[in-house]
């Protein structure tokens, strides 16, 4: 009698544990509509454009263009002020000859 009880308990435990190992049903893949395809394509193009622009901005920041532009402006204004001073002196002496 005890053997029958032990076997019944083991079979019951095996049955309960086997139930937890069941594979879940695989849902059918939903068909993707035309609007979903179009919106996914637009989103991928948008993301690609944003990533490309961000990459370009990082490259530009790496080139230190702001510092180069400031240096170019400073050098140009220095040179132009010198030549403007020379031209001013030439015109002054041209019109007011002593």
Give the domain ranges of the chain. Answer: 34-63, 64-98
DSSP 46-74: HHHHHHHHHHHHHHHHHHTHHHHHHHHHH
pLDDT at 97: 83
Low-confidence stretches of the chain (pLDDT beneath 70)? 13-29, 98
Note the pLDDT of residue 67.
85
Q: Give 95's DSSP letter.
A: H
Q: Which helix (H) or strand (E) holds 39?
A: helix 34-63
CA distance 11 to 61: 71
Query: What integer pLDDT is reported at residue 75 of this predicted model?
Result: 94
What does pTM read for this prediction? 0.38
Q: What is the CA radius of gyration of the chain?
A: 41
Q: Residue 2: enclosing H or E segment and its boundaries?
A: helix 2-20
- According to the model, what pLDDT value does residue 17 have? 63
CA 96 → CA 28, 84, 89, 90, 93, distances in Å? Answer: 97, 18, 10, 10, 5
């Amino acid at each position: 009698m005890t053997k029958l009880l032990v076997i019944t308990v083991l079979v019951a435990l095996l049955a309960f544990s086997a139930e937890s190992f069941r594979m879940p049903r695989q849902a059918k893949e939903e068909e993707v509509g035309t609007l979903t395809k179009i919106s996914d394509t637009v989103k991928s193009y948008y993301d690609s454009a944003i990533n490309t622009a961000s990459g370009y901005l990082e490259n530009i920041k790496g080139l230190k263009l702001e510092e180069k532009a400031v240096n170019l402006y400073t050098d140009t204004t220095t040179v132009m002020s010198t030549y403007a001073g020379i031209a001013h002196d030439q015109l002054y002496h041209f019109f007011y000859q002593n």
